[in-house]
Structure 1
Amino acid sequence: MAGITEDMIGQQLAAASQIIETQVDAEIERLDNLDGDELENIRKERMAAMRKRALKKNEWIANGHGEYRELSEEKEFFECSKKSENMVCHFYREGFERCRVVDKHFSLLARKHIETKFCKINAEKAPFLTGRLNIHVLPTIVIVKEGKTKDFIVGFTDLGNRDDFNTEMLEWRIARSDVIEYSGDLLQPPTANKPKKTITMHDSRNKKTIRSGDDDSDDSDY
């Protein structure tokens, strides 16, 4: 039976390989048979796409993309969310170690994902926003798409509930909210940092005080 099974698998692989080869040959033949006008149209379409991307990149840079920076006041949060289609904002507090961890990862992600604005704001200086967004645990990452709040990453629960997660883990979690260009598998976190337990989406925003995500830190009343 084992020999038959192996033969069947071999035949299936051969058939699949033949299908792919046929498809490739057909595409090559199609391209070879394109006339001058068709090739020119393809070239123009690609050039137009490249120009559109370049213009978009210039727009992103003009709006402060490509660098991780702090918002000076609450109204700047709303201004940025209107100018940038995708925005990820870190609500932090001075002296919280886990907030410094987020700063480190955001500095890397801001440069990598120029299509998205990465910023932070001091929660203590943003009482209206923290109240409106029901933020009670720090760090909290607020994800905004097209001017609307789409998602929250509260503490490090969604990141394996550990402080030493890698940048790829945070990138994957943010990508699940569809605000960055991501080529990996959205259904599985990066294997290099996969936690032992299944990741659950936990919302701690029902607590009444803003506190650090550190287990051994005191609650900080606002």
Structure 2
Amino acid sequence: MANPQLAVETKLLEATKIVEEQIDAEIEKLEKLDIDELESLRKQRLDALKKQETKKREWLEKGHGEYSELPEEKEFFEVCKKSENVVCHFYRESTFRCKIVDKHLAALARKHIETKFCKIDVEKSPFLTDRLRIRVLPTIVLCKNAITKDFIVGFDDLGGHDEFSTEMLEWRIARAEVIIYNGDLTTPPNSLNSAKKNKPVFGYRKKNIRDDDGGDDSDED
């Protein structure tokens, strides 16, 4: 009868041998490079770092790295012209769930300086709100190259409750490809409690634009 432990050890040795062979191949490749080739690789790396730093300065000059408020709707169009990636939160001051979104977006703005994070009051942007057909608050509009790519409406996509994590919102935004994300886009972060997922928390007040505040009032338009 075969020894299971011996089989496992054999597989580990085989895997280790493959890794060692790959490392040896990389070392051999580097050893074969002459001085000019090494200098070329170094220059390419330095050029890439310089371009990255230049891009970072450009982003910061455009207000990236902070979560800012747009005073009027024409500013939304200006932001979309200047920044390739835009995340804009359409909110109402009296809506509790909009304040939850504010907290998460402020954290993400500092982390993802490649993207412009902003918000705009629907009371100050009636034309834009109507044009984008925003009917539930909060709504997050995701834009790339001045084109609206996606919407995050209420908290349905975030687990359907108020206690979703910043990582969960980050993952959802990343699915629209408006931030640089290194995780697995096919699977959301394991940050949601299954009981909370199934908890019915949504409710709406009767308004032209509904506040998704999860209250007891369940009337809709």
Q: Report the TM-score when normalising by structure 2.
A: 0.88
- Distance change in 2, residues 1:208/1:133 (3 Å): farther
How far apart in 2 are the matches of 1:138 and 1:194? 22
Cα deviation for residue 15 of structure 1 reads 2.3
Unmatched tracts of structure 1, length 5 or more: 200-206
SS of residue paired to 2:194? coil
> What's 1:120 paired with?
119
Q: Does the 8 Å CA contact 1:209/1:220 hold for their aligned counterparts?
A: no
> What's 1:53 paired with?
52
How far apart in 1 are the matches of 2:177 and 2:58? 20
How far apart in 2 are the matches of 1:84 and 1:73? 17
Q: Does the 8 Å CA contact 1:90/1:140 hold for their aligned counterparts?
A: yes
Cα deviation for residue 11 of structure 1 reads 3.4
> What's 2:82 paired with?
83
Cα deviation for residue 168 of structure 1 reads 1.1
Aligned to 1:196, which of 194, 197, 212? 194
> What's 1:136 paired with?
135
Please report the RMSD computed on the Cα atoms of aligned residues, expressed in angstroms. 2.3
Instruction: Number of aligned residue pairs: give it.
Output: 212
Matching of residues 42-191 of structure 1 within 5 Å? 42-191=41-190
Which letter does structure 2 place at the counterpart of 1:194?
L
Q: Does the 8 Å CA contact 2:122/2:129 hold for their aligned counterparts?
A: yes
How far apart in 2 are the matches of 1:16 and 1:129? 58
Unmatched tracts of structure 2, length 5 or more: 198-205
- Distance change in 2, residues 1:117/1:34 (3 Å): same
How far apart in 2 are the matches of 1:195 and 1:158? 14
Q: Does the 8 Å CA contact 1:87/1:118 hold for their aligned counterparts?
A: yes
Which letter does structure 1 place at the counterpart of 2:147?
K
Q: Does the 8 Å CA contact 1:136/1:208 hold for their aligned counterparts?
A: no
How far apart in 2 are the matches of 1:70 and 1:183? 28
The runs of at least 4 consecutive aligned structure 1 residues that moved more than 6 Å come to none
Cα deviation for residue 7 of structure 1 reads 4.6
Give % identity: 60
Deviates most, 174-183 or 48-57:
174-183
